[in-house]
Every structure is written in C-alpha cells, then in structure tokens.
Amino acid sequence: MSAHCDRNRATWADATPSIVRLRSSRVHHKTCPMKKMPYSATKGVCVRSMTYLYVQKRPTAMEWPPVEELRRREGVGRWGAERRSLARRRAQAVRCEGCNGSEPQSGRSRSWTRKRLQAVASPVPTTTKRVFTFGKGKSEGDKSMKSLLGGKGANLAEMASIGLSVPPGFTVSTEACQEYQEGGRKLPAGLWEEILEGLSAVEEVMGARLGDPSKPLLLSVRSGAAVSMPGMMDTVLNLGLNDEVVAGLALKSGERFAYDSYRRFLDMFGNVVMGIPHSLFEEKLEALKAVKGVKQDADLTAADLKELVTRYRKVYTEAKGEQFPTDPKRQLYMAVIAVFDSWDSPRANKYRSINQIKGLKGTAVNVQCMVFGNMGNTSGTGVLFTRNPSTGEKKLYGEFLINAQGEDVVAGIRTPEDLDKMKECMPQAYDELVENCNILERHYKEMMDIEFTVQENRLWMLQCRTGKRTGKGAVKIAVDMVNEGLVDKRSAIKMVEAGHLDQLLHPQFEDPSAYKDKVIATGLPASPGAAVGQVVFTADDAEAWHAQGKAVILVRTETSPEDVGGMHAAVGILTARGGMTSHAAVVARGWGKCCVSGCSDISVNEADKVVVLGDEVIQEGDWLSLNGSTGEVILGKQPLSPPALSGGLETFMSWVDETRQLKVMANADTPDDALTARNNGFPVTIRLLDPPLHEFLPEGNIEDIVTELAAETGTSEDEVFTRIEKLSEVNPMLGFRGCRLGISYPELTKMQARAIFEAAISMSNQGVKVLPEIMEFEHQLSLIRTVAQQVFTEMGTSISYKVGTMIEVPRAALVADEIAEQAEFFSFGTNDLTQMTFGYSRDDVGKFLPIYLSKGILQNDPFEVLDQKGVGQLIKIAAERGRRARPDLKVGICGEHGGEPSSVAFFAQAGLDYVSCSPFRVPIARLAAAQVVVVV
C-alpha cells in the first residue's frame, strides 16, 4: 500500500498486512528543505533515515494479534522494543512541503521507490494536542481545562502544579473521545502513538517500565468527564500484570500483595473491559473463603490468592473462550477503548438525561502509575469531603480502609471505618492530609471531594473535585465561607443550585419520637430527609412502579451504576453494604434522595425479593420509612410534615434578594397556596377562573355527580345533564375558558372583580398595602372599571389598580403593540402559549412527548423548560412591540416556567420585569434570578 501527501494534508495509509517491513531509500527531493531526509519521490513522503521500520496496523480491541503470533512473523524478534520506539520514530517523520512528484536527485526510478516504500504508519495531526502529562510538580494542563481534560484530569494537573503528591500520569482528552465516537468507535489516527509517548514520559519519571518484571510499572485507567458523573463510567486498576510481572512484583513487595493485586486486576479488567459479570468472580472468592474458613479478604494467604488467580483466569476463559490478554500494552489499549465506550453506556446516558447534562464532548481517560493501599497495615485508602456534605459542618467527613484499594471504598464492596481511624494508626499521613485539604479549599474556594491512598505511610492524592452536597449542606457551606472571608456573597450565590433549594422544601417526619418503637434497623445516614414508600428490589421494578404513580424504596445489598434509573425513580434508597461515600450515598446526595447505607443488620435476598431482619421478613410491596438524617429504618408508613426554612437559608436568601433584579411572585389558586407563598417570602398573584370548566367538576360516577348537583342547586337532574352536555368540549384546553367565559357570562367577571376590590380595600383599611393588578381582555375592561367604581362608592374609599392582559396565544404576541394601547401590563401565560405555539394539548402530550424526548426530537419537555427558539422569541417580540406602544409597560410571565432556572435566566436576559410561579418554586426562581446577575 502506498502513501501520499500534498500541500494541504498528509495522509499516511495503514499498513497491510498487520506487520510489514519498511526499508527506506536514501533519495532526496530536489526542492526538499530537509537535506538529509530520504523520501518517496513519487508520493512526496519524507522519512528519517533508518535501516528497517516495523509498522503496526492500528487494531481494534478484538483485532490485536497475540504477542506470540507477532513474534513468529517476519524478523520480528524484537517486536516489543520496536513498538516502544515507534512513537519516537513517528515524531521524526516529517511531511515534505512542496513535494510535487518530480524525480529524486539520485535519479532512481519511481517504480524502484514505490517497491521499496510500501507502507507507512498514520501520522498524528500536528494541530491538536490530545495527551497531556502531569506529575513531579509539572503539568501540561490546569483546572481551567475541564472541557478538554475532564474534571478529574484538570484537577490532577492542578494538584500536581501546586505541589501536592500526585502519582505521575497523563490524560487523553475529551476531544479524542469525541473523535473516537464520531469515527465509528475507532481510535483516531495517531492517538495510540501519542499515548505511548505519554507512557514513555511516565516510565522515565518513575524509573520503571510497563511489562518489565524487573522494574514493574502498574497503571490505573480512569474516566473523567467535564461534569462529575460518579460511578457512571469505567475504571481499571493494577493494569500491566501478567504471570511474569506478578512474579517480579512479588520479589519486590511480597507474594501476598502481588497476588492480591493480580486477582483484583483480573476481576476488574474482566468486568469493565470484557463485560464478564463481577458476580462470577465474587462467587469464586466467596467459595474460597468458605473453604478456607475465613470471613475477610485480608485473611487469605498468599497461597490462597495464587489459587484464586488460577480460578479467576478460568472464569475469563469460560466466559470469553480465550486466554486472558497477557501483553500489558494490549491491556492498556483495551482499557482506553473500554473507558471511551463507557461514555455511551446505558447507565451514563441515563445519568446525563436525568441530570440534563448536555453539550459535552466525551470522557477523558486518565492514566496514572499505581500507588497501593493494599501493602499491609501501613497502607490504606480513603475518600473524604473537606466539610460534611449533609450538614455543611466544617469538619473533615470521610472514611478509610486499611490494607485496601480505592474501589473498595467507592463501590461500597467493604464497609469502611470513620476517618478518625486513620488519625490513630497513621498520624503523620493524617496531618499531611488535613493540611492538603486546607490548601485545596483555599485554592478552589469550595468544599472538595478527595480520594487518597497511603502507601507504606506516604500520602498520595488521587483525585479532587467540587463535592456534591445536600441542600442543607450547600446553604450552610455558602454562608460559612462568606463569614470566614473565603468567598464573597456573589460567589456564595453561585455555590447553591436550584435543586438544593428544592430539597429544603421537601417534607420531614412529623414526630420522630412517635415511631421509635417501630425502628427495625439502623444504618448510616448517607443522605438526609424522610422517605416513605413500598419496597422493591431491582432498579427496573423501581422505574416500573414509579411509572404507575407508586412511591418506592429501592432496597439493595449494594447499588451499582446500573441501578441509576431505579435510584432516581425511588423516593429513598436502603443498602446493606457500603459507607457514607459509597456509590449509593454520593448519587443520592447529589439528587437530594433520602438514603440509608451500610445497614448490616439486614439481609437482602434479591432473588426471593425479601429482606430478613431477625424474625422480621419484609416482602416486596411492604411499606417502609427511612430517616436519612439518622439512618433509621422504620416499619410501615410514617406521617410527613412540610419543611421549615432555617436561619442559614434566610441569610442566604437575603443575599439573593439584594442581588437579583427580576421580581418574583407566586401564583395562588387557594388560600393555602397564598399562605405557602407568603411563608416562602413573596407577593401573591391570585388566579381567577381561567382553567377550562371541566377542571372545576368533581371526579367520580357521572350519575352520582348529577344527583348531588341537582340536590344542591334545586334543579332537576335533566337540567344538570343538559348543562353538562352543553359545556362539554372536544378539546377544552383550547376551548371555552379565560376571557371567553367572561364575555359569555359577564357576571363571572363582575363577581371576581368585586371580590378582589372588596378584599383589597378591607386589607388597606388594616394598614396592608394592596395594589390589585387584574388581567383581562379589552372587552372586559369597562366591566371591571364599573365594578371598581361601585365598590369604591359603597366602601367610601378607593385604591390604585391596574388592568392588563395575559398573552397566551401567538396572535396576541404578534399584535402586542395594539393590545398595549389599552393594557397597562402584559403577563405571558407560558403554559398555554407553549401549547398554542407547538399545537400540543397539555392533556394529551404525554402520549407522544416521551417518544420525542427519547429520540432526540426535543431536548426538553417544553412545558417544563421554555422553548427559547420558538416560544421565547414570541415573548421577545411581544415585549419589544408592547413597549414601543407603551414605554412604561410592565412585562412578566405566569406559569411553571417562572420557577425553572434556565427559563428564568432567559426571562431576565430578555428584559422582563417579573416572573410568577407556583408557591413551592418561589425560592428557586429567586435564586435563578440572582444567578443571572452574578455570572455575567
């Protein structure tokens, strides 16, 4: 296969067959600026002079030939060495600018060159860097590069730069993942060679080599997107082990450690990279422990672990029909592919969908040299938060496992001990850890989530990121950091998310003391709040029951990333294993879900769908209550009460109100709604008889309803039936409602106007300032003014009021300048404007909208998140035209969009004066309005 280049692009074709021998010719182009560069005269490719070059065709994960086969091929006795030097040689290959195919200086024929230069490796594009190294106080990236390096890679680079002990490594960029996904799941040309260059840099720093038994280098391969997605993508640890390397490692570090690392690698690689269920390896482990009569993994001897390795390799062979890959570079190649593939896994896609994470390029891949927490009692691993993520208390909050690796903590496979245990057994490393936490908080000005390992009393920092927290924790952390002088108020406003405030508005148990005799178990209070629901044992069942409108408690031995859909559907989560920083705990806190983890008193039989606690057996469908603040598991349904706003929240919201420019009001259909709105701190908009009439009719058997109505009104049942038939509509959402009711039945408009004016004057007489703003169609204006004058005369006083209009149909938005001549304010009814613009009936949209969302036809439910391209443009047009006709026109919106953060941001940027939303969403709207100001 020949190769070619032109002035615009160098294209180097893959070699065929997989391994070819390339003898370079010592000939030169007449105009080539590289005077000592051999090249192909016919194809214009310059290659640095070398006697032979072996070029490996870039394989896919399944195409990579076994190393034994490679060594049998033509003259490839030094295949491994040639592979290691390939990256260096590739860098020396240059494109000859200006090559035009003229004869070489030597005068040799083109046919000779074509025969001699038969295949060339694909080059790395020189315009984009895709592999970034870090370690030893130096980094090619920093914390500002999250979109390119992912959060983990950017923060590893940053920690290394500020002098913390970070294991050296390199990060493959998110853009490389994007190229991989868009290129049909194939590594981009040249990327593998770049990865090998990064590996060489790490080997040089560490003085060790991947696959070298005498100086073994083991690697971790981890994912890391720009937005934290805990547990959703893949990780491989201890990569680089095979039978030869483990023997060399055993000579240096002891047999038990070496074979413990090997069996962990076989399990993780088999599960993550090859898709073998973890349970198959777990069965072998539990069976061996039973035979040996031990309960803990740490009680197995080196000989036991050797036997376990043999059993694990057999699991691999039986599951895949082939031997475990022993070439370390092949292992690395396959692990990188697996991490890239995990970006598009069902669980990762579902997590991004649930959390509305969009616009990311992919995941980065972080490759680091391993440090080991499983080298005995002077080693360990842990996860911590620099402040309590549940309460916000300024105290290190975390867990630690002696003689273990990080995944044991994060995955919840073993229930760890409190961080104070580390303080007792490794005081020097603990003191350094505390200092590092202080450094990171001051540097990032945030509460941080940190993973670390201690190897033989030396501390290594493995990861840091902004810590996920509950609503209560978020508000306290923000307020405390302002009081400490660490951040200003504007920065604090950015630290609290809309979802955090939403959590604070959720109910708690009415009286915790009333259920104490029904507490059947106590676990770890992993995520606060109260949850009451029916027990289910699988994520699929949780989603199915939730779809039926049932509240469910998901009960698992331990959760895994595959459970993410069920965790989101459940109102609460209960696990038998796992700590405060396990997968279940971290994800639940991020969503504000109540979670009790590590409840070791219970035995979960997921196959039979029962939970056993002593003599108590809880079956699927039974009711449980969880107190995520105390860890209590309570039998039956316990009553809940509305939440109370804390003093810290009041302080925080005062900063929000000082900052925001957009006014926020609450909609109220009932007196209770109005009271809730006042408790949440805001003015009230009273909703009149606007909905379709069918929404006011009771549900039930029509004959019973008719009988009841006839008795109450003193009319015959026939008359009631006739009126119901007359008022029935095919599509009531677009029918007889709003101003159409007032035009047809003027007494409705008069009655409501009178009630408003009488109540307003009554409150005004008590010293409460009331400014009624009544929204009606122009036709109703004279009726309202007449009623107002009548009430003022009757009550002997008057008040100021305004009359405006709702803009709920596209035509009204387009003729807003005409409407503004009479209306003193506009209120956009975004719910109805959305349904009229899309032509979707809110009553029927549920039949097809989920399909639209799943197929990507719509990115969001337009009734939840404002359609800025369509409905949003109508709002802008109406506001601009209305203000041209009436410059002092007040413009706002009324609807659930007024409490959705991204929609509120749009309204603020569009220049609206206010938003109005349901009472419980008022604090969220206030925060969103302030965040628009502070992020500018």
Classify strands 417-418 and 890-894 as parallel, antiparallel or unpaired: unpaired
**Helix/strand/coil for 485:** coil
State the chain's maximal CA–CA distance in angstroms.
115
Query: Binding site annotation covers 140?
Result: no
Q: In whole angstroms, what is the distance from residue 615 CA to residue 605 CA? A: 15
Task: Indicate the burial class of 118 (C-beta count within 10 angstroms; 0-12, 13-18, 19 or more).
Answer: middle
Candidates 737, 707, 730; CA nearest to 719 is: 707
- C-alpha to C-alpha distance for 672 and 678, rounded to whole angstroms: 10
Residues 137 and 160: their CA atoms lie apart, in Å, by 5
Question: Burial, 272: exposed, middle or buried (Cβ in 10 Å; 0-12, 13-18, 19+)?
Answer: buried
How far is 868 from 313, CA to CA, in rounded Å? 56
Q: Taking Cα atoms as reference points, which of 642, 621, 624 lies closest to residue 633?
A: 624
What is the C-alpha separation between 545 and 559, in angstroms, rounded? 18
What are the start-end ranges of the H helices in 117-209? Answer: 146-161, 174-182, 191-206
d(CA 97, CA 9): 10
Amino acid at 196: L
R_g (Cα) of the chain, nearest Å: 34
What CA dihedral angle connects 792, 795, 798 and 803, to 10 degrees? -50
d(CA 244, CA 212): 8
DSSP H helices, 560-715, are 564-569, 583-591, 647-659, 671-679, 702-713
Closest listed residue to residue 394, CA positions, set 439, 472, 447, 436: 447
SS3 label, residue 109: coil
Rounded to 5°, the CA angle 658-444-588 comes to 80
Q: Do 181 and 199 meet the contact criterion of CB atoms below 8 Å apart?
A: no
- Residue identified by tokens 């697996």 is 338
The β-bridge partners of 667 are 685
Residues 653 and 926: beta-carbon distance below 8 Å: yes
Pairwise CA distance, residues 113 & 2, whole Å: 10
Annotated catalytic, 546? no
Please state the separation of Cα 423 from the chain's center in Å.
Answer: 33
Q: Which structure tokens are listed for 250?
A: 């055993």
For residue 147 the two structure tokens come to: 């979109």
CB 181 within 8 A of CB 362: yes
832 is in an annotated binding site: yes
Say how many CA atoms lie within 13 Å of 520 toward its Cβ.
19
Q: Is 437 a catalytic residue?
A: no
Strand-pair partners of 221: 236, 367
Residue from 520, 522, 535 nearest 630 by CA: 522
Nearest to 407 by CA among 150, 217, 645, 235: 235
First to last CA, the chain: 56
Catalytic residue among 46, 594, 894, 917: 894
CA atoms of 416 and 408, how far apart (whole Å) = 9
Q: Provide the sign of the torsion angle of the four alpha carbons 863, 869, 871, 876, taken in this order.
A: positive
Q: Cβ(919)–Cβ(668) under 8 Å?
A: yes
Query: Which one is catalytic: 32, 583, 594, 599?
Result: 583
CA distances from 613 to 520, 521, 629 (A): 8, 8, 21
566 close to 383: Cβ distance less than 8 angstroms? no
Catalytically active residues are 583, 894
Residue ranges for the binding site? 808, 832
Residue ranges for the binding site for Mg(2+)? 808, 832
